[in-house]
Structure 1
Amino acid sequence: MAEIRDLPTEQGPGRGHIYSADVPARADIVLGHGAGGGIGAADLMLLASSLPGHGYRVILIEQPWKVAGRKIAGRPPTLDAAWLPMLAGLDLSDRVVVGGRSAGARVACRTAYDVGASGVLCLSFPLHPPGKPESSRAHELRAPGERGIPVRVIQGRADPFGTPAEVRAELANPEWVIEVAGAHSFGRRPIDVLDAALAVLPALIGADA
């Protein structure tokens, strides 16, 4: 069971769903949801229920627009403006990996330096709108690395928002992208996402962790 905490922002309350580790946590993993769905996405729920057993505390963040029951997310600046005070309102450890699915991954990339993140974990990073590769968001994906913050991306093989090959082309190291089955929602095997996350988290929190 998660501990649920209301987190005030200027846009109204957001919410943190905290899944604690049974032992002292190696790091905090803070994940945001997408622009269409919520924290109930299969991959987010599997990470939240499984990573604590591997020594990570997981915090799923609900944006204020979602808590208020609205169906459409706000513009990127409003998402960032809510994310920052919500994370500031949590008792985070010295090792914090931020991330999320789709739009949540974009927020995490844009704000990673401001929140002092150790690393960024992107699930289905939306590199561009479907069919519009010219409208690239690669600058957001590269932003953490330009500040010395490591990034790893778990991407569905048939993701219309950017294939793994497209995402690899935008990063300095192709090994930073882990390809799994499925499209933008990963399909029916969220366990592949968990396995990939477990493989890359040590690199995001430091080799000595």
Structure 2
Amino acid sequence: MAVVDDLSIQMNTADDAIATLIFAHGAGANMDSDFMTEFTQLLNERHINVIRFNFPYMQQRLVDGKRRPPGKMDILKESYINRIKQYAVQLPLFIGGKSMGSRVAAMVANEDKVKGIVCIGYPFHPQKKPEKLRLEPLQQANKQVLIVQGDRDALGNQDEISDYALPTNIHVHYVADGDHDLKPRVKSGFTHLQHKISAANLIKTFIKEQS
């Protein structure tokens, strides 16, 4: 593992890496959350370098302990674009994130260095507000986009998504009985780890296809 000097960014390197993924956190949990950490390890095991970072509002929260909302989307986009511009490794670069992080990644998908986009639990709409769709970033992305979504995700479930007019470069894969974190209920017979592993395998296949 290599950690850069900037405390708001961390790079976890993999053996015999085939690509690098910049992986952004969701609205409520930072880059060191259990999900982000565990998923990074799964990707490293699949020979994918992972760069995690905190958006400015989250880094400030860690400094002063005060909870604050994500802030303006322009600031989030600028933060993500800066991470892309800093990337100087020869390996193919992919970008993505968890929930809000994936939405921001989709908004900056057309940056030249980017080979493709990876979304875990894309927030198609706010919770309990299915009429407020967030399809525009996906519709405007000119790269291939992989979305791994729980089929009962409260921010966009399978029944809802099947009715959306998504471009052909958007590829949605569902995990059975998964919620917004891909977590299934016990009665489903699946485990959270199984779904995380499935998602990591899908991402590796996607990256190899686009590299």
Say whether residues 1:57 and 2:57 are aligned partners. Answer: no
Counting only pairs closer than 5 Å after superposition, residues 47-126 of structure 1 correspond to structure 2 as: 47-69=39-61, 70-71=66-67, 72-126=69-123
Letter in 1 for 2:2: E
| Greater CA drift, 173-182 or 154-163 | 173-182
Aligned to 2:181: 185
Q: 1:91 to 1:175 in 2, by over 3 A?
A: closer
User: Residues of 1 paired with 2:150 and 2:11: CA distance?
Assistant: 27
Unpaired runs of 5+ residues, structure 1, are 8-13
Q: How many residues align?
A: 197
Say whether residues 1:36 and 2:35 are aligned partners. Answer: no
User: Residues of 1 paired with 2:151 and 2:88: CA distance?
Assistant: 36
Deviation at 1:47, TM superposition (A): 2.3
Say which SS state the counterpart of residue 4 (structure 2) adopts: strand
Aligned to 2:187: none
Say whether residues 1:154 and 2:154 are aligned partners. Answer: no
Say which SS state the counterpart of residue 102 (structure 2) adopts: helix
CA contact (8 A) 2:8 2:54 kept: yes
Tell me the C-alpha RMSD between the 2 structures. 2.3
CA contact (8 A) 1:15 1:62 kept: yes
- TM-score, normalised with respect to structure 2: 0.82
User: Residues of 2 paired with 1:158 and 1:171: CA distance?
Assistant: 19
Letter in 2 for 1:19: N
CA contact (8 A) 1:120 1:151 kept: yes
Aligned to 1:4: 3
User: Residues of 2 paired with 1:66 and 1:28: CA distance?
Assistant: 23
Sequence identity (%): 23
Aligned to 1:140: 137
Aligned to 1:176: 171
Q: 1:197 to 1:141 in 2, by over 3 A?
A: farther
Deviation at 1:163, TM superposition (A): 0.6
Aligned to 1:199: 202
CA contact (8 A) 1:4 1:15 kept: no
